[in-house]
Amino acid sequence: NAGVMQNPRHLVRRRGQEARLRCSPMKGHSHVYWYRQLPEEGLKFMVYLQKENIIDESGMPKERFSAEFPKEGPSILRIQQVVRGDSAAYFCASSVNPGTLNYGYTFGSGTRLTVV
Amino acid sequence: DQQVKQNSPSLSVQEGRISILNCDYTNSMFDYFLWYKKYPAEGPTFLISISSIKDKNEDGRFTVFLNKSAKHLSLHIVPSQPGDSAVYFCAASEGTSGSRLTFGEGTQLTVNP
């Protein structure tokens, strides 16, 4: 079991470009959560997805950000027209149905996005 | 609106001594609390959790204490080891099923040999 896999580990984008971050949950996990960590801050919840469904997107910025978790393949966090303020570490976590916290979520190693 | 606060950005202790990391929260709806440990360039790793119906939970060298009336929790590590040096995050949630986590800002623990 390879754990939660995120790629790329590092991503550099110029202002105005698109960033696509991928997350493959642990085998058997059907729930995915995305969190963002800005420099010198804690992790902030962005979105919670199940296969083909967005359950809670209350932490997502209203514009430019979207997320999906298709029936097949990884979950994708997409940031359009990136700005310098999007530079952060983006972490994905997964859990078994229905996402119990009793043993915490399993986090991936993150994608570090740098916007230049 | 910082609902979970870790007021100490850093803590330094000697190997073998006790490390005490503190966390305060403001949201009365939080009923489940977790501590995560994070090394540089890695994701957070779950350490220990506690439900609001308890005031203490112990797992090996790690003990979490919860004071609901004060909306305060703490993580005790004893004895501290150099490998414990990392950033520790306190997190809270409303319920345990499919719930988002609200994290504190983290405390950098350094254990000196």
Tell me the chain A residues in contact with residue B46 when contact means C-beta distances shorter than 8 Å: 103-106
Interface probe, candidates A101, A102, A103, A114, chain B, greatest B C-beta count within 10 A: A101
Residue A25: asked if its preceding bond is cis (omega within 30°), the reply is no
The rounded distance, in Å, linking the Cα atoms of A1 and A27 is: 7
Strands A75-79 and A88-95: unpaired
Tell me the chain A residues in contact with residue B96 when contact means C-beta distances shorter than 8 Å: 100-102
For residue range A9-52, list pLDDT tens digits in order. 999 999 999 999 999 999 888 889 999 999 888 899 999 999 89
The rounded distance, in Å, linking the Cα atoms of A26 and A42 is: 23
Tell me the chain B residues in contact with residue A35 when contact means C-beta distances shorter than 8 Å: 101, 103
CB B22 within 8 A of CB B72: yes
Q: For residue B98, give the nearest of A4, A35, A55 by CB distance.
A: A55
Q: For residue B49, give the nearest of A44, A101, A109 by CB distance.
A: A101
Q: For residue A99, give the nearest of B41, B98, B102 by CB distance.
A: B98
CB B78 within 8 A of CB A82: no
Query: With 90 as the cut, is the pLDDT of residue B20 above it?
Result: yes
For residue range A46-94, list pLDDT tens digits in order. 999 998 999 999 999 989 999 999 999 999 999 999 999 999 999 999 8
